[in-house]
Chain A
Amino acid sequence: MNFTIGRYIPNDTWFHQLDPRFKIMALLFLLIAIFFPAGYPGYALMFVAVFIALKLSQLSFKNVLRALKPLLFMFIFLAVVNMFYLKDGILLLDLGFIQIYSEALSSTFYIVVRLTLMIMVTTILTSTTKPLDMTLAIEDLLAPFQRIGVPSHVIAMLISIALRFIPDLVDETNRIMKAQESRGVDIANGKFKEKLMAILALIIPLIISAFQRAEDLANAMEARGYSPNKHRTRYRQLKATSCDYLFITIIIVIVIALALMAFVL
């Protein structure tokens, strides 16, 4: 199994060392800014910023592009739908059964650009931030909402446990698959009914073992006195440095620039 989206890539660049809280905030700002109607110059600015970020975090452009591959189909689908429904702007091409207008092209282009940018900035965040740091940061960022009843600690704990168990579940899936293959399960070949049976033979033991693991973990945590309602101190403290403030300032400047382009000019 191969996950490229959201996979942490160990390294030690400036970008990796940034405080995860600031990176998540920056991501939120940028995700909002992507939807400002800032026109082509705005997107050009965003792309330049993303490229600089890619360079700084020493990520290969190819890897980030690979994360986009699954969306290719969606892009094509969007383009086709737009072609049929958007009839504004200048008539570009008349194929008899269908007329292509400039608005269809430009609106498809906007959506593609926005999605591409969104995926790129998200990939930069997940590739340069350890999952555990990410959950710490989410916990800190949600802390202010605790007053209105958001269980920030529980949410962070849930996320970090889920992340922790993904590789284990992948291993477990492989193990069970091999065990059932030894008993004559053939997932690739076989009739529909056989395939259904093969999937059951995989899913049921997997669910049983996942519940078993969850119970074991819960017991182990309780045995060590864990309670989500108690205040806990942390071994790993997040500390902002001047670099982090510089970084968020740059991001805010970019967001303001985009807002100006979109709403003032």
Chain B
Amino acid sequence: MPIAFRDVSHVYTLDPKHTRTALSHIDLNLPQGKMIAVIGTTGSGKSTLVQHLNALLLPTSGEVEVDEYTLKHDTKMRFKPLRQKVGLVFQFPEYQLFEETVAKDIAFGPKNFGLDEQEIDRRVHDAIRAVGLDDSFLQRNPLDLSGGQKRRVAIAGVLAMEPKVLVLDEPTAGLDPASAAAMMALFVRYQAQSSDHTVILVTHDMDNVLNYCDHVVVLHEGSLIYTGDTPSFFNSNETMEQAAVLPPACIVMRNALIQHGFTIDVDQVYTEAALAKAIAKEVKR
């Protein structure tokens, strides 16, 4: 499912006299079947960018191409089929829960898209297990769950739509480290399920980017300053500086070792395990 932004700008109208440009002239092609990270400082336009993917926002100028759809500022069509293919999970999605039971809430999306009972039932069970909760949760009231459990249920609600593109806006914000890691593993698993599953992740956590993502998109004050694979991003100090990103400890360590005379292949070595292996090799030598 190809996704492309062509000269896309988005301007928010605050009142008739005041506007705010949140995206300016974005040209971007996103690879398919990958884990993609969207990063940038607060207010750089990440949330605005991802809301274009399922037509919650339309570009003020330029066009967005998603699958067979071309979205422009005056596009008028039923967005439902598009939204079934591109599932979007907002920041703090736990606030969208409203049904009396977890099962009904997870089924809400699939039902809206007109799937039959049997299929919905299968998806509800698959989704609740995918997010690491068991079937006993299905009959509980979503409002009685803990914050982290609510978040999982909300994500299950979007997973049950089985979207080709899963977009998540800061899904791990405010979770404990173990739950955050489990959540990231879940997204990786979802992406790996099929070669045309793409996961797009807005995040501030560079370790998540380094360990789980293949591709990085960097926004800065509404402009695109980098799009490319993860290793090259972490090898370009210039880009990281521009994006106000502090490199992960592993990268800092690797660069320090190189500076002090180690020979380490920067294109290969950027995870902890790979770094350890490279160090062992050097030390043995």
**What string of 1s and 0s marks CB contacts (under 8 Å) between A183-196 and chain B?**
11110010000100
Contact of A209 with B by CB under 8 A: yes
Interface residues of B in 196-215 (CB under 8 A from A): none
Are the C-beta atoms of A183 and B143 separated by less than 8 Å?
Answer: no
A182's partner among B78, B90, B97, B111 (CB-CB below 8 A) is B90
> Beyond A183-B108, A185-B112, A186-B80, is A205–B56 a contact (Cβ under 8 Å)?
no
B88, B95, B108 — which one has the most chain A CB atoms within 10 A of its CB?
A: B95
**What string of 1s and 0s marks CB contacts (under 8 Å) between B62-90 and chain A?**
00000000000000001110011001111
With both chains docked as a complex, state the minimum distance between the C-beta of A207 and any C-beta of chain B, in angstroms.
9
Contact of A102 with B by CB under 8 A: no
Are the C-beta atoms of B88 and A182 separated by less than 8 Å?
Answer: yes
Chain B contacts of A181 at CB under 8 A?
A: 56, 79, 83
**Chain A residues touching B, range:** 10 to 19
With both chains docked as a complex, state the minimum distance between the C-beta of B115 and any C-beta of chain A, in angstroms.
10
Contact of B59 with A by CB under 8 A: no
Contact of B222 with A by CB under 8 A: no
With both chains docked as a complex, state the minimum distance between the C-beta of A127 and any C-beta of chain B, in angstroms.
14
Beta-carbon nearest neighbor of A176 in chain B:
B96
> Beyond A178-B51, A178-B56, A178-B90, is A183–B97 a contact (Cβ under 8 Å)?
no
Chain B contacts of A200 at CB under 8 A?
A: 98
With both chains docked as a complex, state the minimum distance between the C-beta of A66 and any C-beta of chain B, in angstroms.
11
Are the C-beta atoms of A184 and B93 separated by less than 8 Å?
Answer: no
**Chain B residues touching A, range:** 20 to 34
Are the C-beta atoms of B161 and A204 separated by less than 8 Å?
Answer: no
Q: How far is the CA of A183 from the CA of B86 in the complex (A)?
A: 10
> Beyond A189-B78, A201-B108, is A182–B113 a contact (Cβ under 8 Å)?
no
Chain B contacts of A205 at CB under 8 A?
A: 95-98
> Beyond A176-B95, A178-B90, A205-B96, is A186–B78 a contact (Cβ under 8 Å)?
yes
B80, B88, B98 — which one has the most chain A CB atoms within 10 A of its CB?
A: B98
Are the C-beta atoms of A209 and B95 separated by less than 8 Å?
Answer: yes
With both chains docked as a complex, state the minimum distance between the C-beta of B138 and any C-beta of chain A, in angstroms.
18
With both chains docked as a complex, state the minimum distance between the C-beta of A203 and any C-beta of chain B, in angstroms.
8
Contact of B45 with A by CB under 8 A: no
Beta-carbon nearest neighbor of B96 in chain A:
A179
Contact of A164 with B by CB under 8 A: no
Contact of B158 with A by CB under 8 A: yes
Contact of A148 with B by CB under 8 A: no
Contact of A208 with B by CB under 8 A: yes
Are the C-beta atoms of B90 and A184 separated by less than 8 Å?
Answer: no
Contact of B157 with A by CB under 8 A: yes
Chain A contacts of B90 at CB under 8 A?
A: 175, 178-179, 182
> Beyond A179-B96, A204-B98, A208-B143, is A184–B78 a contact (Cβ under 8 Å)?
no
With both chains docked as a complex, state the minimum distance between the C-beta of B128 and any C-beta of chain A, in angstroms.
16
Q: How far is the CA of A179 from the CA of B83 in the complex (A)?
A: 11
With both chains docked as a complex, state the minimum distance between the C-beta of B254 and any C-beta of chain A, in angstroms.
39
Contact of A58 with B by CB under 8 A: no
Are the C-beta atoms of A182 and B158 separated by less than 8 Å?
Answer: yes
Contact of B54 with A by CB under 8 A: yes
Beta-carbon nearest neighbor of A178 in chain B:
B56
- Besides A182-B158, A205-B97, 13 new A-B residue pairs in contact (Cβ under 8 A), listed by A number: A178-B51, A179-B90, A181-B56, A181-B79, A182-B56, A182-B89, A182-B90, A183-B157, A184-B84, A184-B109, A186-B78, A186-B79, A194-B112
Binding site for A on B (CB under 8 A): 51, 54, 56, 78-80, 83-84, 87-90, 93, 95-98, 108-109, 111-113, 143, 157-158, 161
Some 19 contacts from A to B, beta carbons below 8 A apart, are: A175-B95, A176-B96, A178-B90, A179-B93, A179-B95, A181-B79, A181-B83, A182-B56, A182-B88, A182-B158, A183-B96, A184-B83, A184-B109, A184-B113, A205-B95, A205-B98, A208-B95, A208-B143, A209-B95
